[in-house]
Structure 1
Amino acid sequence: MLSQSMPLNAELRPNRAEDAQALEEDTRLRNDIRLLGRILGDTVRDQEGADVFDLVERIRQTSIRFHRDEDRQARAELETILDSMSISETVRIVRAFSYFSHLANIAEDQNNIRQMRAPAVGGAPRPSVLDQTLAHARNAGFGAVELKRFFGYALVSPVLTAHPTEVRRKSTMDREMAIAALLDRRERVQLSPDEVAASDEQLRREVLTLWQTNLLRRTKLTVLDEVANGLSFYDYTFLHEVPRLHSALEDRLNEEGELGSFLRMGSWIGGDRDGNPFVTADVMRGTLRLQSSRVISFYLEELHALGAELSIAAHLADISEELRALAERSPDTSPHRSGEPYRLAVSGIYARLTATAAKLDVEITRRPVGAAAPYASAREFKSDLDVLDRSLISNNSRVIARGRLRLLRRAVDCFGFHLARLDIRQNSAVHERTVAELLDAAIPGMSYLALSEDARVALLSSELRSARPLTSSFVKYSEETLSELAVFHGAAEAHAKFGPDAIPQCIISMCKGMSDMLEVALLLKEVGLVDPSGRSAINIVPLFETIEDLQACSGIMDRMLALHDYRKLVDSRGGVQEVMLGYSDSNKDGGFVTSGWELYKAEIGLVDVFERHGVRLRLFHGRGGSVGRGGGPSYDAIVAQPGGAVNGQIRITEQGEIISSKYSNAEVGRSNLEILAAATLEASLLQPRQSAPRREYLTAMDELSSLAFKAYRGLVYETEGFSDYFWASTVITEIATLNIGSRPASRKKTRAIEDLRAIPWVFSWAQCRLMLPGWYGFGSAVEAWIAEHPEQGMAFLQELYREWPFFRMLLSNMDMVLAKSSIAIASRYAELVPDVDLREQIFGRIRREWHLSIETLLDIMGHERLLQGNPLLERSVRHRFPYLDPLNHVQVELLKEHRANNPDEAVLRGIQLTINGISAGLRNTG
């Protein structure tokens, strides 16, 4: 499999239609994969022996035959090989194939970076997506002044979450990043023969270390572990690239004055309590301290470097009076800096910042040069940096000001002392119980839970206007209520300590009515974040998740914005109301087609409601990594929103393995941030303003959605025994044994699909290569629709695909997910279902729908094969399957052993390793 003599990528052959540049890029990718594959092969042979290496190759070759043709002979041969292996051999085989998936990912990522850097055909520089969008805007008549005004009120906010789909340990990621850095250096630097040899040896050293590093976590992650893991991406990308992106955009607009900081990082890690009992008030405080510690340490590092750079002598360059005053206030008494006012000023700023860290009770390793007063706010810190900037610019040293100082000033503006804006989130049912307990204790004879919705709204509105507190030291509250109150008090403390940007949002999961939002307002009033006069220090954000809730959300928000007491809170927040839409639960509830459509319709309805009320809408998209949870290319997803749904501001969750794939490399991370900014600009200024496409498009999509919903619900929720089939034919039980997150997999201790979280639901279907949440119901819906509308037929659906970005994105994502599926491999997992009749009934329906969905998808798109329009991904999928498929086959055999109660711990460990390898091979699985 992995030696130089073996055809690592025999299946990877470019299409004739590709140009010479694509052929060259493809060749270089193959060369990188061969290099890493050869080194891994040598490592396997050296560490495990030639017999294991030969066995790996036999499995790979047999798997290729099985995958291509569903060859029965190959299947029998494969089963014979796998059955003959000992558990010890199996684990070694799994590790080999898993590591190949990881190494192939590195090579592909480096190839993507290479393509970003490469000039376009003809040698001209290849413009970024943001460059192209700015050019498009200028061609549309938007000048620098208008674009600067747009970014002045724009908000683009990627929100990192700890949703457990990243199965890699940080130790593994560190080794992989080291390998990527070595490949990058070989690409960019002209190495001498000795340096090439040294690089080869270093690659071998890193691959060997990776082979000897445990792929699996031995202990379960705590919430603060998840926080620490999330913070590493600030070191890799955000702290450096967010300021650079703003500065580069400022230069492209070439307009006097600074651009507003529109890119703001958000986080749920340490603040998301929905279903996670381990996120407490103390954990939230610890999260804020860790975030603040990281950003202040970064500022101190940059100040230290800045002081070294600004060796400007007073007798050689003029300085401003305000800079002179700043230098004179410095506690730095070193005679070596007596004639260097900029260094003295930086020392003084440094001293004040270390004093600030002490005041905020955050840990730093650096020490000041002397005593100084702490900063009252990040704004005060930035104003001192601005003094340096103005002095340099006014004395003909603008080029110096545009270096490290410019980026540091921008970083302070973007990150403050809080680093990321932490959202707090809880389920509406918990808020309801908490408020009920408070009201029932404060109002004798009250039974809040017995009140109608209208009565609750009236009571809550009245309480919002009252200055009377609800809590009393004489009442003994439940543990849950005390925990919730502690979190809200902690949020108030965070506002006082770090500023209002530390926790700007309170999100209500499973929001189903007006009272759900008013209950949160009342809890915020109890801790002083909402006052009786109608001012709020925090955004109250409803999250609509199920199909039913998406259908109701426009009506709920219409009534909320008409409610005087709530509207005052919105007006106090600048007349902006954020609404979050959940992609995951709506998909599990109604299937891929209906979820996407109901989300789109909800946005149309919300745009209309908010325009009527004169309130600005900001949508927060709760997208996952997989297509089954709203994933897919970010640019396409944003641009495909209905007119008016973006309007300059958007927040999007970045979850699990998607965070590392997008942001562990600074160059890739910068590109992804630019994509978000470009798409927001495109969707806001350059898309048609009408909120919906043609009426006949909407009607057709309504009918398709209804038919797909019926097919999906008919299988998942209305077929007797389906939950038994799901639990038997997937690794859902075994996924729970992985230490990949702090949150439980189910909301309740049942096997019901309704109670299962969307992440393990999607993750499990990906592991068995069905990806059912990303396509099921589409084929039968199209077939039935065409039967009902023969006069429109396939031609009309092809028109929808050509003319409507929403429909095109829907099909494009389905194209990707179906290409990663394999009905042949899925059939092996179906055999894990002990009830033969149940197995044949359900898998037979799934197989028919899979074939029908692919057939109808290709007909509508006018393609002959899946991924025909995405050759880069097509090649990626084609060359990794021969190494991915064996992991599935081995996983099935291990599942049989595990479920037969084999006591060998290596069996479960082998299953866990296969989950890791399959996840790496598929990349966006949860």
Structure 2
Amino acid sequence: MPTQPKLTRFKQNVLSKYQIYNSIFMTLPFDTISKTGVLLPLFHETCEKGFANGDNPTTIVETFFKKYQARRSEESQISLLFRFIQYIERQVVLFDAIEDAAFPIVNNMDGIGTLRSLKEAIKSEDKTETLKAYLEEFKVRIVLTAHPTQFYPGAVLGIITDLDNAIKSNDLLKINDLLAQLGKTPFFKHKKPTPYDEAVSLIWYLENVFYESFGRIFDYIQQNIFDGNTIENDIINIGFWPGGDRDGNPFVTPVTTLKVATRLKHTILKNYYTDIRKLKRKLTFREVDNKVADLEAKIHAMRNNNNSHLLTPSEFISNLKDIKDIIIKEHQSLYLNDINSLINKVHLFGFHFASLDIRQDSRAHDAVFNNMVDTLIEHGSDIFPENYHDLSEKDQVKILSEIKGEINLDIFQDEDVLKTLQTIKAIKTIQETNGERAANRYIISNNQTTLNVMQLFAMLKLVAFHEDLTVDIGPLFETIEDLENAPQVMEELYTNPNYAAHLKKRGNKQTIMLGFSDGTKDGGYLMANWGIFKAKERLTEVSRKYDVTVIFFDGRGGPPARGGGKTHQFYASLGPTIEDKEVQLTIQGQTISSNFGTQDSSQYNLEQLISSGIYNRLNENNIGMSEENRMVMNDLAVRSYKTYSDFKSHPMFLPYLERMSTLKYYAKTNIGSRPSKRGKSTELVFSDLRAIPFVGSWSQLKQNVPGFFGVGTALKHYEDTGNFEKVKQLYNSSSFFKTLIENSMMSLSKSFFDLTKYMADDPEFGEFWKLIFAEYELSKRLILKLTGYKELMEEEPAGKASIDVRESIVLPLLTIQQFALKKIQELQKTNPDDKDQIEVFEKLVTRSLFGNINASRNSA
């Protein structure tokens, strides 16, 4: 029987099931307000008809109450709106679970981009040996971050998993019970999670998803590409930021970092213990049973006592290989695959499970470093000359690169200095207990100069790594200006004899992180992506010049506006001018649960990442952009940047975000441990804005500005001058530009300007709203003209259908949110002393944030 189109599979296995289970869900008696489940569809219909008629959210809400609930008091009406929000949040969870359950059916697990497809394609081209050679050095690292773009508590994640399984087996009774459980399980967090809480919730994915999916992928590669032989390279690994990322998060302490590392080790030992016990039930033969029992006892003791000296990962593997040899010689290779699989997992995860990255802002380091120097000079230390601060930056760098000595932490009083220096000590401790891979990278965000890197270099050596620095320093370049300066900074580092010697000891590899999120916030969509592309080319060139392999680590978020989008296509499109021995990227928030939340989706998306990196290397036709295409791409980026920069400088830009969007409510949501902005200023300062609340606020308005603003104006120049064919030529021949345009289409697809059309009549913000809407209309028209599509995302009907369902589910939620925002504005003008009433509507806004955040999870 032929495979049905993806859209048909989506409709049959996701959409129709959602309609059935949602109808059951709507009839469950959850609350004291009668008929909530009956009234919500009526409210949904009122919203749809109202927006189609050009009504504003306030009129829609008032129309609904007048028509269906005329006798309700105002208090009872507000109460019903809160109930609607609770229902809608749970509808989003239900849709998530159904989509997760259908993932392997909707997505072809052996199709294009999977390892099976890659293997067959390589085999047909007789390139298996070339593929093996690549796989011996190629790596994919996904780095889980604590960035708060999803708020599901652990209990809800558990329900999603159980629902997923019940839906797969069509167990209607269990589904009914789980929907009832979902209705009664609280979603809202009354206090912010601690960084440790965030780490624990992400370790759930390591333990329950990645342990198995990474193992499956590695086993497949070993069996089917390497014919069962040992692979030295780990190919796939995990980075971890919760507990290590202290950039702008005062709540991450050295104690947190150590606690998270201990939890990671304990969790991987727990998983090994489970597997060893399973093996023990199978390997009941002479000479083998006692060896397995001995391993079981050692892992058990290490779990309970955190005693790391009973066994090292290499000893663990060695013992398993001894067992394997006996099985092959004496017992007809019985259960050999199970033993191989466990050996592979120990190879991948060691005793650390995930590599804990430390991250801090260069400005915070600078303050700490200068305070440290002053304190050392005051105490008579001769590590730094007394005139250190008066020296030129070049002379300071020279001193730092030749630094020697040890410092005593007891002499420091400043809390920030102690936290930074004790964190460095913690890295050393973690390496000693969990292995070097457990914590061996320090990221400097907002890195601007060579001095930023060398300050950290010196601190690491003085505090804990005196002669042998087993930590990689990764500068993170974020703004458009920093990306321009990045190659010069790296050249200064590569030509510094002491830093070059450090790199040589580290295998002549240099990690450089590039920030798509802040880049987009700073420079707009096209310029951020093009700026990073060009920076990567120049950084590749300068690194190759000094025989250094540069490893690009991409700070990509979930939605396209934060650098996410069609990630696999992005990596497959880079071409030969960009170093590609490793693919490293951050995964965060709803992107973790949507792309890696189940073993199927995790395996599929990891395989896509591996394949995209390898296709980029093996594709001899991918010769990069022609000179003419580069000129067009550059010109589009520059024009787009100018349009976006002018927009950002508009006097209404910050007031609009502050007063017409949900920006200030992000801080009240309790979804993350980090403050929602960097600075301490009470006024809104653009540079203090974090990318997540910035992009999220536009998303809640359904305007998605960072994903398209400036694109339309840049394209219009080519239409006006009769050169549109040049852009078409770029689109048809550059998969990089094509991916950018497709991502921008996704942002446009998720925009819904009818929601905020009422703002066009606002005396203060009306013209500004019209400016945004005009750019949206222009971008949409010209992107359709460029692609030849009749509608947005025409090339991806199943993805579009998923977005449409989610947007439909949250439509009433957004209507309530806009209604509440308008009420707050009116009360602040007419009755500012009515704090209780304002607080009620503010709660409506805050509560309505969540469902919409979670509903946008299919954005990467």
TM-score interval w.r.t. the shorter chain?
over 0.9
Alpha carbons of 1:755 and 1:117: their partners in 2 closer, same or farther (altered >3 Å)? closer
Contact 2:209–2:597 (CA under 8 A) maintained in structure 1: yes
Q: CA deviation at 1:621?
A: 0.6
Q: How does 1:829-840 map to 2 (within 5 A)?
A: 836-840=762-766
Aligned equivalents of 1:774, 1:165: Cα separation in 2: 17
Q: Which residue in 2 is equivalent to 1:4? A: none
Cα 1:576/1:21, change in 2 over 3 Å:
closer
Alignment correspondent of 1:847: 773
TM-score normalized by structure 2?
Answer: 0.92
Q: What is the letter of the counterpart of residue 739 of structure 1?
A: N
Amino acid at match of 1:242: F
SS in structure 2 at match of 1:540: strand
Residue 644 and residue 142 in structure 1: after superposition, are their counterparts in 2 closer, same or farther (change >3 A)? farther
Q: 3-state DSSP class of the match of 2:544? A: helix
Contact 1:215 1:913 in 2 (8 A): no
Match among 683, 702, 709 for residue 641 of structure 2: 709
Alignment match, 2:186: 214
1:80 alignment counterpart: 63
- Cα drift, residue 614 of structure 1: 1.1
**Which secondary structure does the structure 2 equivalent of 1:746 belong to?**
coil
Contact persistence 1:769–1:822 (CA under 8 A): yes
CA distance in structure 1 between the aligned counterparts of 2:822 and 2:65, rounded to whole angstroms = 12
Deviations for 1:441-475, whole angstroms, at most 9, x for unmatched residues? Answer: 44577354554322222222232xx3x23x34674
Going from structure 1 to structure 2, the CA distance change for 1:710 and 1:88 (only over 3 Å counts) comes to same
> Is residue 2:227 matched to residue 1:296?
no
Residue of structure 2 equivalent to 1:349:
295
CA contact (8 A) 1:216 1:912 kept: no
Aligned length: 833
8 Å CA contact 2:7–2:797 kept in 1: the answer is: no
CA contact (8 A) 2:509 2:549 kept: yes
1:431, distance to aligned residue in structure 2 (A) = 1.8
Match of 1:137 in 2: 122
Q: Would you say 1:806 and 2:732 are equivalent positions? A: no
Tell me the secondary structure at the aligned position of residue 153 of structure 1: coil
Instruction: State the one-letter code of the partner of 2:229.
Output: G
Please tell me whether the aligned partners of residues 25 and 115 of structure 1 are also in contact (alpha carbons under 8 angstroms).
Answer: yes
Matched, 1:640 2:579: no
Change (3 A) 1:880 1:163: closer
Match of 1:426 in 2: 360
| Counterpart residue identity of residue 127, structure 2 | F
What whole-Å deviation, never above 9, does each CA across 1:114-141 have from its counterpart, x for those lacking one?
22468xxxxxx75662222233333444
Q: 2: distance between equivalents of 1:112 and 1:524?
A: 45
Distance 1:147 1:624 in 2: 30
Contact 1:436–1:448, Cα closer than 8 Å, also in 2: no
CA shift in 2, pair 1:508/1:21, >3 Å: closer
Which residue does the alignment assign to 1:237? 209
CA shift digits 1:228-272 (9 cap, x unpaired): 101100222111121111111122215351223211111011100
Alignment of 1:93-104 (within 5 A): 93-104=84-95
Contact 2:6 2:107 in 1 (8 A): no
Aligned to 1:818: 748
Paired letter, 1:356: M
Equivalent pair of 1:587/1:773 in contact (CA under 8 Å): yes
2:464 maps to 528
Displacement, 1:477? 4.0
Q: Which amino acid aligns with 2:421?
A: L
Which position in structure 2 is the counterpart of 1:412?
346
Deviation, structure 1 residue 877? 2.7
The percent of aligned pairs where both chains have the same amino acid is 24
CA distance in 1, matches of 2:854, 2:178: 18
- Separation in structure 2 between the aligned mates of residue 269 and residue 628 of structure 1, nearest angstrom: 23
Is 1:654 paired with 2:587?
Answer: yes
Q: Which one-letter code corresponds to 1:179 in the other structure? A: L
Residues 1:743 and 2:674 aligned together: yes
Rounded to whole Å, the distance in 2 between the matches of 1:172 and 1:779 is 41
TM-superposed CA distance for 1:682, in Å, is 1.4
Q: Distance in 1 between matches of 2:371 and 2:414?
A: 8
Name 1:115's counterpart in structure 2.
106
Task: Give 1:854 deviation, angstroms.
Answer: 0.5
8 A Cα contact 2:56 2:757, kept in partner: no
Q: Is residue 2:242 matched to residue 1:257?
A: no
Residue type of the partner of 2:157? Answer: M
**Equivalent residue, structure 1, for 2:135:** 151
Q: Deviations over 1:3-58 (max 9, x none)?
A: xxxxxxxxxxxxxxx966743552333320112111111115x6456643343222
Deviations 1:513-552 (A, max 9, x none): 1111111111110133252xxx531111110011101111
Question: How far did residue 910 of structure 1 move?
Answer: 2.9
The reply on whether 1:872 has 2:798 as its aligned counterpart is yes
Q: Work out which of the residue numbers 18, 41, 54 in structure 2 matches 1:71.
A: 54
Deviates more, 1:908-917 or 1:439-448: 439-448
In structure 2, the residue matched to 1:383 is 318
Q: Distance in 2 between matches of 1:442 and 1:418?
A: 35
The change in CA–CA distance for 1:843 and 1:416 in structure 2 (over 3 A counts) is: same
Moved more, 633-642 or 593-602: 633-642
Of 131, 143, 160, which residue of structure 1 is paired with 2:144? Answer: 160
SS of 1:508 mapped into structure 2? strand
Indicate whether 1:285 and 2:258 are aligned: yes
Once the two structures are TM-superposed, the CA of residue 920 in structure 1 deviates from its matched residue by 2.5
Q: 1:894 to 1:604 in 2, by over 3 A?
A: same
Contact between 2:476 and 2:515, CA under 8 Å: does it hold in 1?
yes
Aligned counterpart in structure 2 of residue 559 of structure 1, from 492, 495, 502: 492
Aligned mates of 1:713, 1:117 — CA distance in 2: 42
Aligned with 1:581: secondary structure? strand
**Aligned-partner Cα distance in 2 for 1:914–1:160:** 26
Helix, strand or coil at the partner of 2:668: coil
667-676 or 249-258, larger mean C-alpha shift: 249-258
Deviation digits for residues 628-648 of structure 1 (CA, Å, limit 9, x no counterpart): 110112211211224253432
User: Following TM superposition, by how much is the alpha carbon of 1:898 offset from its aligned partner in structure 2, in angstroms?
Assistant: 4.6
CA gap of 1:169–1:795, structure 2 versus 1, over 3 A, is same
Correspondence for 2:21: 36
Report the AA paired with residue 63 of structure 2: T
* 1:90 alignment counterpart: 81
CA contact (8 A) 2:701 2:756 kept: yes
Q: CA deviation at 1:671?
A: 1.1
Q: Deviations over 1:191-236 (max 9, x none)?
A: xxxxxxxx32221111111011112112210011011101100222
TM-score between the two structures when normalised by the length of structure 1: 0.86
Query: Residue type of the partner of 1:576?
Result: K
- Provide the residue aligned with 1:327 in structure 2: none
Does the 8 Å contact 2:558/2:588 carry over to 1? yes
AA matched with 1:815: M
What SS class does the counterpart of residue 210 from structure 2 fall into? helix
1:440 has 2:377 as partner = no
Change (3 A) 1:276 1:94: same
Q: How far apart are 1:830 and its partner, in Å?
A: 7.0
> Within 2, Cα distance between the matches of 1:72 and 1:257?
67
8 A contact 2:741–2:783 mirrored in 1 = yes
Structure 1 unpaired stretches of 5+: 1-17, 119-124, 187-198, 315-340, 363-372
- Shift in CA distance, 230/731, structure 1 to aligned 2, threshold 3 Å: same
- Distance, in Å, in 1 between the alignment partners of 2:56 and 2:583 is 53
Which range is displaced more, 509-518 or 386-395?
386-395
Tell me the CA shift for residue 556 of structure 1.
1.3
Which deviates further from its counterpart, 390-399 or 848-857? 390-399
Residue type matched to 1:129 in 2? T
CA-based RMSD: 2.4
Q: Is the 8 A contact 2:50 2:60 kept in 1?
A: no
Q: Distance in 1 between matches of 2:805 and 2:415?
A: 54
> Structure 2: 5+ residue runs without aligned partners?
379-384, 828-833
Equivalent residue for 2:562, pick from 629, 645, 650: 629
Q: Does 1:490 align with 2:426?
A: yes
- Residue 91 of structure 1 aligns with an amino acid whose one-letter code is F
What are the superposed Cα offsets for residues 306-339 of structure 1, whole Å, 9 maximum, x if unpaired?
Answer: 1111112x3xxxxxxxxxxxxxxxxxxxxxxxxx
Worse overlay, 773-782 or 391-400: 391-400
Instruction: Give the Cα–Cα distance (whole angstroms) in 2 for the partners of residues 673 and 652 of structure 1.
Output: 12
Instruction: Using the TM superposition, give the Cα deviation of residue 778 of structure 1 relative to its aligned residue in structure 2, in angstroms.
Output: 0.8
* Residue aligning to 1:169: 153
Cα offset, 1:152, TM superposition: 1.7
